[in-house]
Amino acid sequence: MSVFLLKRLVTFVLTLVVASMVVFAVLELLPGNAAQIILGDTATPESLAALERKLGLDKPQLQRYGDWVWGLLRGHSAMSISYDVPTRTLIAERMQVTLPLAAMAMLMTVVVALAAGVYAASRHNRAGDVGVMFVSQLGIAIPSFWFAILLILLFAVKLQWVSAGGFPGWSEDDGGGLWDGFVALLLPAVSLAVVQASVLARWTRSAVLDVMREDFVRTARAKGLSRRATLWGHVLRNAMIPVLTIMGLQFAFLISGTIVVEQVFVLPGIGRLVFQAIANRDLVVVRDVVLLLVAMVVAVNFIVDLLYAVIDPRLKPSDA
């Protein structure tokens, strides 16, 4: 297990190093810089040079990359040019919205997809199977932002059960509370979960059907186990290997891909922060957010690799 963990940790670190280089290089290739955005086209060369020195933009690229990475390793983040606060403060505030949103959407996805996938597989080529496949295909075809607009029209405009957007906060000091925050994220989570649950349900159905053809399933049934007990106790566990991979990718996507839905519901999440930072040419915020998202994606994949050995005892960590 120690060798397995070491290999995964080395891969994790190398991925972050390469990702940091790519992120920094891509942002450096963009025309203009933050000083030009702040001062505008009418700025004099002297004032532009002075602001570049203040922001550290006059330093060589390699030195600026080293300062950025060294600061992150020490737990120090650069100051946002637009907000004049450390980027870690901005990211921490916005993650209070994005992480619960992604977690709620993922929970809905897993519950609905596993139930629908196992149900469809257990009724292969029957009405239940055809119905689940039709609904899942429809869910895949519907864009999340379009479904989000439909939810707003129905529940916020017509029924007026919830507000059309915004986030009141998690504490009463901010004018909200736990329940108010949960309600504000409910429709965005549903709009995100529809597509993901449709994809995962189809994968679950396919994986369960493959396992149901194995000899040990027939043996379990011959020993007197009910169909339900066999499905949920034996088949699903062995079918979770490919399903886990998709679940890991989906959760990573939900964390990093909420920008459109956050724009629709006017949520102050990480996606909206990136959108605003790009518009304001605040590349300091963009590169820190992108690197954080890369780290979270790699971390999710690392956790999925560890879960493989837990779910399927046939997989040895030394063989991974």
Q: CA 237 to CA 254: how far, in whole Å?
A: 24
Is residue 246 domain-resident? yes
- Report the pLDDT value the prediction gives residue 108, as an integer from 0 to 100: 94
CATH of the domain at 98: 1.10.3720.10
Confidence of residue 317 (pLDDT cuts 50, 70, 90): very low
Using alpha carbons only, give the angle 24, 95, 307 rounded to the nearest 5 degrees. 85
- Report the pLDDT value the prediction gives residue 309, as an integer from 0 to 100: 64
- Report the pLDDT value the prediction gives residue 320, as an integer from 0 to 100: 46
User: What total of structural domains would you count in the chain?
Assistant: 1
Higher pLDDT, 257 or 303: 303
What are φ and ψ of residue 86, in 5° steps? -60, 145
- What percent of the chain stands above pLDDT 90? 12
- Report the pLDDT value the prediction gives residue 134, as an integer from 0 to 100: 92
Range of the domain at 230: 93-280
Is residue 146 domain-resident? yes
Determine the average pLDDT of the residues in 164-192: 84
The predicted-structure confidence for 198-222, as pLDDT tens digits, reads as follows 999 999 899 888 888 777 777 877 7
Is residue 193 domain-resident? yes
The predicted-structure confidence for 91-126, as pLDDT tens digits, reads as follows 888 888 988 999 999 999 999 999 999 889 888 888
The predicted-structure confidence for 176-185, as pLDDT tens digits, reads as follows 788 888 988 9
